[in-house]
Amino acid sequence: MVYVDSDAVAVSHARALLTTERTRAVYGDLTRPDEVLAAAAATRLIDFGRPVALLLAAVLHHIPDEAGPHECVTAFRDAMARGSYLVISHAQLTPGHLDGSEPVSELGRELAAAQEGAQRGNGTRTREEIAAFY
C-alpha cells in the first residue's frame, strides 16, 4: 500500500504509522499525476502492470475545475492495468440544495457554509460531473 498526500504533516504522521515493509507514505500532488505515479512506482510496492486499486477518498472536491481534476483522474486510470479498481468519494450538493429549493441536512448546511465563496469545483459538482470521472 502506498499512501500519497500533499500535506507534509500528514505524510510525516503516515510514515510514523506505516512501519511495515509493505506500506509507504509519499508526498505528492494529485494535480501532478506523473510525479505521483513515479513516486508510487519508486517504492517498488506497486506494479502498474498488474491490477491495482486507487482510492481517491474525499480529495477530488478540493480540486477546482481549473486544475484539471478530470485530466488527472484520466492519467491515473490510464496507468492502471485492466481489472484495476478506481474508487472515488466526492462531496455533492444538488442544484436544489444550492438554490434553496430542496431541504438540506445539517451536514449539507455545514458543507455549503464551508464552501461559500470557494472556486467552482470545490465540493459543488453535480452527480453527472462526478460520474464523468469514471
Q: Does 35 lie in the same domain as 96? A: no
pLDDT digits (tens, 9 = 90+) for 6-37: 899 999 999 999 889 999 999 999 999 999 99
- pTM, two decimals, is 0.75
Strands (E), 7-111: 24-27, 53-57, 85-89
Domains: count for the chain: 2
Q: Closest Cα to residue 72, out of 20, 30, 106?
A: 30
Per DSSP, the three-state class of 57 is strand
Q: Does 103 lie in the same domain as 81? A: yes
Give me the chain's average pLDDT, please.
84
Q: Does 80 lie in the same domain as 134? A: yes
Q: Does 11 lie in the same domain as 59? A: no
Q: Does 133 lie in the same domain as 119? A: yes
Domain that holds residue 121: 51-134
What pLDDT is attached to residue 66?
87
Q: Does 111 lie in the same domain as 65? A: yes
Q: Does 57 lie in the same domain as 41? A: no
Q: Does 41 lie in the same domain as 65? A: no
Give yes or no for residue 90 having a pLDDT over 60: yes
- Sign of torsion, CA 16 20 21 24? negative
Q: At what angle do helices 69-79 and 33-42 cross, to 10 degrees?
A: 30
